[in-house]
């Protein structure tokens, strides 16, 4: 934390470029000091996750504000269209989508699911964008944080998706078993580090879906491919078959998305997880 304060003093605009980042780190510092002084017993949860979840919405808002300077975050009809399996920008007056979002949406559209569920939907941006791109797709979203869900209602009061407040690390979620053709995450599993909670989240993610799981994560944070295989071997994932694939981010020319399927697909087979980890070493964003 002291290093972060020094960085802020040296170059505040670069290191903490908007008020949400500053507020998040100041409050986080206060919580840490309060715990050390035993003034505060607990705020959020004493865990190993990457964020204090009670403060996370501030950091999330900061991320979106920064990305919006260079990318279109929220699509409108006519901004993009799927043509021959590729997602193309059709509105010359807007900024491009973030390359990761472009790859995520394009992959989901290629798989042509009827029902899609997002684990950790945040402010609903990805669900909104998928609806714009494929209005016939039925969409569901889950998030554990009421602050994130309030932000969703603020950003998309008329969102065309069913939203539920659900903790992805809850051991039993039978009401969502097999509810979708495809489930996906965008930078969710990578944040979960308390005990083996990420394994529960992975189990739930797979059991939400009957056919496909699409993941955009920071791959070095967990051995996600091995974890999935072990869950499948223990029959904690209900799929009969399990195939792994990847796609290339056309902007970076690096592999950066994992597609899991219970049936063979025509994508590149993922045999070596390290090719995804190497992408992270080259500092490709997962926003």
Q: What's the pLDDT at 38?
A: 62
CA distance 130 to 54: 28
Give the model confidence (pLDDT) of 150-204 as tens digits.
999 999 999 999 999 999 999 888 889 999 999 999 999 998 988 889 999 999 9
Whether residues 269 and 136 share a domain: the answer is yes
Indicate whether 176 and 258 sit together in one domain.
Answer: yes
Q: Which residues contact 66 (CB under 8 A, 6 or more apart)?
A: 17, 18
| Last-in-domain residue among 41, 65, 89 | 65
Residue found under tokens 């394009």: 106
**Whether residue 187 is found in the same domain as residue 91:** yes
Same domain for 23 and 144, yes or no, is no
State what percent of residues in the chain have pLDDT above 70: 80
pLDDT over 90 (residue 4): no
CATH of the domain at 260: 3.40.50.150
Which of 57-61, 96-100, 216-220, 283-287 shows the lowest per-residue confidence on average (mean pLDDT)? 283-287
Q: Give the SS3 label for residue 213.
A: strand
Which of 65, 87, 113 lies at the terminal end of a domain, its last residue?
A: 65
pLDDT tens-digit series, residues 20-49: 666 666 666 666 665 566 665 554 444 555
The answer on 209 and 116 residing in a single domain is yes
Question: 111 or 55: which carries more pLDDT confidence?
Answer: 111
Question: Does 200 or 282 have the greater pLDDT score?
Answer: 200
pLDDT at position 43, please? 46
Structure tokens at 246: 């990847």
Does residue 20 share a domain with residue 79?
no
Residue 66: CB atoms within 10 A of its CB come to 15
Structural domain range at position 57: 1-65
Q: Are residues 208 and 239 in the same domain?
A: yes
Among 19, 50, 65, give the residue marking a domain's end: 65
Are residue 31 and residue 141 in the same domain, yes or no?
no
Q: Is 60 found in the same domain as 82?
A: no
Contact, 212 vs 111, CB < 8 A?
Answer: yes
282 compared with 34, residue with greater pLDDT:
282
- Do both 157 and 256 map to the same domain? yes
Domain count, the chain: 2
User: Which pLDDT does position 40 carry in this prediction?
Assistant: 56
Q: Give the whole-angstrom CA distance, residue 45 versus residue 234.
A: 29
What whole-number percentage of the chain has pLDDT above 90? 69
- 31 and 164 part of one domain: no
**241 and 106, same domain (yes or no):** yes
Q: What is the dihedral of CA 102, 105, 108, 111, to 10 degrees?
A: -60
């Amino acid at each position: 934390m002291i290093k972060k304060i020094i960085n802020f003093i040296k170059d505040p605009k670069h290191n903490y470029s908007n008020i949400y980042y500053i507020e998040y780190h100041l409050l986080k510092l206060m919580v840490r000091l309060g715990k050390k002084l035993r003034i505060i017993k607990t705020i959020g949860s004493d865990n190993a996750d990457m964020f204090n979840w009670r403060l996370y919405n501030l950091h999330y808002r900061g991320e979106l504000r920064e990305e919006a300077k260079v990318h279109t975050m929220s699509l409108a009809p006519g901004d993009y269209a799927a043509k021959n399996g590729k997602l193309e920008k059709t509105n010359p007056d807007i900024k491009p989508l973030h390359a990761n979002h472009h790859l995520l949406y394009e992959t989901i559209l290629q798989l042509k699911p009827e029902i899609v569920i997002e684990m950790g939907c945040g402010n609903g941006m990805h669900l909104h964008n998928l609806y714009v791109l494929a209005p016939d797709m039925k969409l569901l979203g889950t998030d554990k944080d009421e602050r994130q869900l309030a932000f969703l209602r603020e950003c998309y009061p008329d969102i065309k998706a069913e939203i539920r407040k659900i903790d992805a690390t809850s051991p039993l979620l039978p009401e969502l078993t097999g509810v979708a053709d495809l489930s996906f995450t965008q930078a969710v599993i990578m944040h979960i580090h308390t005990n083996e909670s990420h394994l529960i989240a992975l189990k739930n993610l797979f059991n939400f879906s009957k056919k496909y799981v699409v993941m955009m994560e920071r791959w070095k944070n967990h051995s996600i491919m091995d974890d999935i295989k072990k869950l499948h071997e223990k029959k904690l994932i209900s799929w009969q078959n399990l195939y792994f694939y990847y796609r290339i981010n056309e902007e970076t020319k690096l592999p950066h998305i994992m597609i899991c399927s219970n049936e063979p697909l025509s994508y590149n087979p993922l045999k070596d997880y390290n090719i995804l980890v190497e992408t992270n070493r080259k500092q490709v964003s997962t926003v």
